[in-house]
Structure 1
Amino acid sequence: MGLFSELKLAVPWGHIAAKAWGSQHGFPVLCLHGWLDNANSFDRLIPLLPKDFYYVAMDFGGHGLSSHYGPGLPYYQLNFVSEIRRVVAALKWNRLSLLGHSFGGSVGGMFSCIFPEMVDKLILLDSTPFFLDCNETGNLLTYKRKLIEHTLQMGEFSKKPSRVFSQEEVLHRFLQNNSHVNEECGDLLLQRGATQVATGVTLNRDRRISLPEHSIDFISREQYEHSITKLQAHTLLIKAIHGYYDVRRENDANKEPVHYMVGKLKSALEERFQFVEVPGNHYVHMSHPHHVAGIISSFLQSRDRVPAQQ
């Protein structure tokens, strides 16, 4: 399981890059990284998981080694959901499990509600199946307006040449912007997230992608409650004790929305839902993968409840 292969799946705007572990004959598990991360996010976790599955970690469009969208096209959350569908079609899968961290978990959750018959198990790593708008329903149109205006502004910015950094500078900037990532994990993500050029390194990600809220599909509580009734997948939500609770961070101290979502998942899915808290921060699956590997392994291999965390 330490060995992996690189995949390159054709799409109309270029390709979706991915890396795969295990035998293609194993039941497929598609791994979805967080915002501005890439497939290397799972390098430390997957070797600890059961060997009889086929794990594919994709780079979302504009991330890692995947192609950027064409000029003027926005990075809507539903576009990323559509990318999952394209990957599933390209790999000729009829049914799969999804393992998603942070933003990837929410994209996977949306996919699982739109295509419920395709998803056997849904694993959410410090994530929720949707982004909930916390009592701000009146702002939903404002968010969409900001996304459109941001796309227009970044269209001009993206025409400028990519900035070149030294290896040390790009790592330092990355760690400054990601307080939950240690240096070793940051270096691992940058191995796939940056490209060596003659005078230094450039970031691979599309510069139109900056703040996740510019692409997120926030939904109301009513929409959330309706959507999760469509879920057929057995669902595991692993919450890092020192992880994030709100994507916008300024409201991160307010844990009520997450507690509300967990409560509704328990009510809607009953025995098909499991919730486990683990020590660690938002990137616990990278920094301390053993904290989550056993829980995920038990969940993948059995429909019984996950054993209590020791």
Structure 2
Amino acid sequence: MGLFSELKLAVPWGHIAVKVWGSQKNPPVLCLHGWLDNANSFDRLIPLLPQDFHYVAMDFGGHGLSSHYSPGLPYYHHNFVSEVRRVAAAFKWTRFSLLGHSFGGTVGGMFACIFPEMVDQLILLDSTPFFLDSNETENILTYKRRNMEHMFQVEASQNSLRVSSLEEMLQGLLNKNSHLNKECGELLLQRGTTKMATGVVLNRDRRLSVPEHSFDFVSKEMFVHFIRRLQANVLLVKATQGYYDVRRANDENKEPLFFMVDTLRTILKERFQYVEIPGNHYVHMNNQHLVAGIVSAFLQSQPRTASRL
């Protein structure tokens, strides 16, 4: 399981880059990274998971080694959900499992509700299947406006790519994300940067701005309705020092998480498992052995389903 291969899957705007572990004859697990991260987010975790599965970690569009969206097109939550469907089609999967960290979990959650017949297991790592609009209703239109304005600003900018030293790039990443340690930051930058003659440049698309500008928010009523569509078994692994809201300004309010957990437990009953573990938002990278034990037990407790017709 330490061995993996790199693939590029053709899409209309270029390609989606993926890393693949294990035999394609085994049940597939698609791994979805967090906002502005990349497929290397799972490098420490996947080798510790059961070897009788086929793991695919993708780079979302505009992230890692995947193509940027075509000029003029913004990044919206629904676009990332459709990328999951494209990857499944490329591998000819009819059923598979999803393992999502943070933003990747919300993409996986939406996919599992839109295509409930395709998802066996949904595993959420310090994530939730949706973001509630309970604290954000008055801001949603502002977010949509800022997303467009940011895209226009990037298009109008004639600045060349910003070249930095790897050390400067790493320090900037760690300054912006206190939950990342140095080793994990280096791992993400291995895939998230390209070497130039005088340093490195970020691979990610500059149109990707703050996450709430691209995310979809749902009401409590919509959340209940969507979860009733879920056919998957769901595991939610919550880091006690992790994030509770997409906006850090709201992070002290844990009520939305409690509402979602209660709803999942009420509707899914024995199909839902909730586990709290010590650690921060990147616990799957910082304490991968603890997370691997929980995820492995969940994967192996579920009946196996063939991935193809």
Indicate if the aligned counterparts of 2:147 and 2:209 stay in contact, CA closer than 8 A: no
C-alpha separation in 1, matches of 2:16 and 2:159? 24
Task: State the match for 1:250 in structure 2.
Answer: 249
Which residue type is aligned with residue 190 of structure 1? L
Matched, 1:237 2:236: yes
Task: State the match for 2:307 in structure 1.
Answer: none
Task: State the match for 1:47 in structure 2.
Answer: 47
Task: State the match for 1:308 in structure 2.
Answer: none
Q: Please, which runs of 5 or more residues in structure 1 have no aligned partner?
A: 305-310
Task: State the match for 2:176 in structure 1.
Answer: 177
Select between 23-32 and 127-136 the one with higher mean Cα deviation: 127-136
Report 1:97-246 matches (<5 A). 97-157=97-157, 159-246=158-245
Task: State the match for 2:15 in structure 1.
Answer: 15
Which residue type is aligned with residue 302 of structure 2? R
Indicate if the aligned counterparts of 1:132 and 1:219 stay in contact, CA closer than 8 A: yes
Which residue type is aligned with residue 202 of structure 1? V
Indicate if the aligned counterparts of 1:19 and 1:57 stay in contact, CA closer than 8 A: yes
SS in 2 for 1:224: helix
Distance of aligned partners of 1:135 and 1:213 in 2 relative to their CA distance in 1, 3 Å threshold? closer
C-alpha separation in 1, matches of 2:260 and 2:152? 33
Q: Which runs of 4+ in 1 moved over 4 A?
A: none
SS in 2 for 1:61: coil
C-alpha separation in 2, matches of 1:143 and 1:281? 27
CA distances 1:112-153 after superposition (whole Å, capped 9, x unpaired): 000000000000000000111124434433332332223222
Indicate if the aligned counterparts of 1:150 and 1:214 stay in contact, CA closer than 8 A: no
C-alpha separation in 2, matches of 1:143 and 1:225? 24
Which residue type is aligned with residue 77 of structure 2? Q
C-alpha separation in 1, matches of 2:7 and 2:285? 22
SS in 2 for 1:124: strand
CA RMSD after TM alignment:
1.2
Report 1:243-282 matches (<5 A). 243-282=242-281
Report 1:80-95 matches (<5 A). 80-95=80-95
C-alpha separation in 2, matches of 1:130 and 1:189? 25
Indicate if the aligned counterparts of 2:150 and 2:209 stay in contact, CA closer than 8 A: no
Indicate if the aligned counterparts of 1:45 and 1:285 stay in contact, CA closer than 8 A: yes
Indicate if the aligned counterparts of 1:98 and 1:123 stay in contact, CA closer than 8 A: yes
Which residue type is aligned with residue 65 of structure 1? L
* TM-score, structure 1 normalization: 0.95
Indicate if the aligned counterparts of 2:14 and 2:67 stay in contact, CA closer than 8 A: yes
Which residue type is aligned with residue 277 of structure 1? E
C-alpha separation in 2, matches of 1:266 and 1:145? 36
Q: Which has the higher contact order (CA 8 A, sep 6+)?
A: 2
C-alpha separation in 2, matches of 1:264 and 1:152? 39
**Identical pairs, percent:** 72
SS in 1 for 2:123: strand
C-alpha separation in 2, matches of 1:126 and 1:21? 23
SS in 2 for 1:62: coil
* TM-score, structure 2 normalization: 0.96
C-alpha separation in 2, matches of 1:135 and 1:248? 10
Residue 222 of structure 1 deviates from its aligned partner by 1.3
SS in 2 for 1:63: coil
Which residue type is aligned with residue 222 of structure 1? E
C-alpha separation in 2, matches of 1:22 and 1:106? 25
C-alpha separation in 2, matches of 1:73 and 1:278? 39
Which residue type is aligned with residue 97 of structure 1? S
CA distances 1:155-197 after superposition (whole Å, capped 9, x unpaired): 223x531100001100000100111000000000000000110
SS in 2 for 1:100: strand
